[in-house]
Amino acid sequence: MPNEATLLLGLDRVSVVRIERLADGTRRVHLATADEAARACPSCGVFATRVKDTAITRPRDLPYGERDLQFRWHKRRWWCREPLCPRKSFTEQLPQVPARARLTTRLRQAAGRRVGDAGSTESRRPAACDCPGRW
């Protein structure tokens, strides 16, 4: 059965820890991983049993409602328990928010569609730009 975060936000495998309303009306949603498979080492696949640390990431997502949502994903960093694994520790990751991603997969896909819909296939230097470097 899907949890509340999945039903409300459409984000699988996370749960809402708490929600804050900021002074400007933005809602900050604190998330935790709700998928036990995120404990599997990405290198060897062995399930970790010991938490090394925690990390908070801020993945950006599609807008929701009239005000922005800010996500704070409270992820665990695990020790890999496989002695022969080259990766000693790893941070939880999910298909919709891969490791080191700053955007959710669906935001990245939506941005790609917008670029495609605009008919732009390459970056171009603005006409009035004297910017050094390659474009």
Give the pLDDT of residue 135.
38
Write out the E strands in 7-91: 14-21, 27-33, 50-57, 69-79, 89-91
71/78 Cα distance (integer angstroms): 21
- pTM flag (> 0.85): no
Give the pLDDT of residue 127.
46
Tokens of 44: 């060897």
In the chain, the amino acid numbered 34 is: A
As averages over each run of 10 residues, the pLDDT of the chain (135 residues) reads: 66 89 91 94 97 95 82 96 96 89 88 76 47 43
Give the pLDDT of residue 129.
43
Reference 111, options 68, 61, 72; nearest CA is 61
